[in-house]
Amino acid sequence: MDRDWIATARTLSEALPYLQRYSGAIVVVKFGGNAMGGVEEMADFARDIVLMRQVGLNPVVVHGGGPMINDLLKRLGIESRFVRGKRVTDQATVEVVEMVLTGLVNKRIVQAIMDEGGRAVGLSGKDDDLMVCEADDPELGFVGRPIEMNVQVLRDLFAAGIIPVIAPVATGMDPNETFNVNGDTAAGAIAGALKADRLLLLTDVQGVKDKDGNVVTQLSPEDVRAMIADGTIAGGMIPKVETALKALDEGVRGAVICDGRLPNATLLELFTEYGAGSIIRSTEPRVKPRGA
Q: Which domains, from first to last, does the chain contain?
A: 21-280 (3.40.1160.10)
Partners of residue 209 on adjacent β-strands: 215
Mean pLDDT value across residues 215-236: 92
Lateral strand order in the sheet of 58-63: 120-124, 163-167, 58-63, 26-31, 198-203, 254-259, 277-280, 218-219
**Confidence band of 203 (pLDDT split at 50, 70, 90):** confident
- Please, are residues 256 and 201 in contact by the beta-carbon 8 Å criterion? yes
- Taking the C-alpha atoms of residue 93 and residue 51, their distance in angstroms, rounded to an integer, is 36
Binding positions for substrate = 65-66, 87, 180
Residue 281, pLDDT > 70, answer yes
Tell whether pTM > 0.85. yes
**Confidence band of 175 (pLDDT split at 50, 70, 90):** confident
Mean pLDDT value across residues 124-153: 94
Residue 273, pLDDT > 80, answer no
Sequence letter at residue 274: Y
Lowest mean pLDDT among 14-18, 90-94, 116-120, 147-151: 14-18
Query: Each residue of 2-52: pLDDT tens digit?
Result: 666 656 566 666 766 666 777 889 999 999 866 677 888 899 999 999 999
Beta strand 131-135 with 144-149 is antiparallel
Lowest mean pLDDT among 90-104, 106-120, 139-153, 203-217: 203-217
Residue 114, pLDDT > 70, answer yes
Residue 172, pLDDT > 50, answer yes
The predicted structure's pLDDT at residue 261: 83
Cα of 145 vs its chain's centroid, Å: 16
The predicted structure's pLDDT at residue 10: 64
Query: Each residue of 176-189: pLDDT tens digit?
Result: 899 999 999 999 99
Binding positions = 65-66, 87, 180
- Taking the C-alpha atoms of residue 114 and residue 93, their distance in angstroms, rounded to an integer, is 30
More confident residue, 272 or 116: 116
Query: Each residue of 72-108: pLDDT tens digit?
Result: 999 999 988 888 777 889 999 999 999 999 999 999 9
Residue 286, pLDDT > 70, answer no
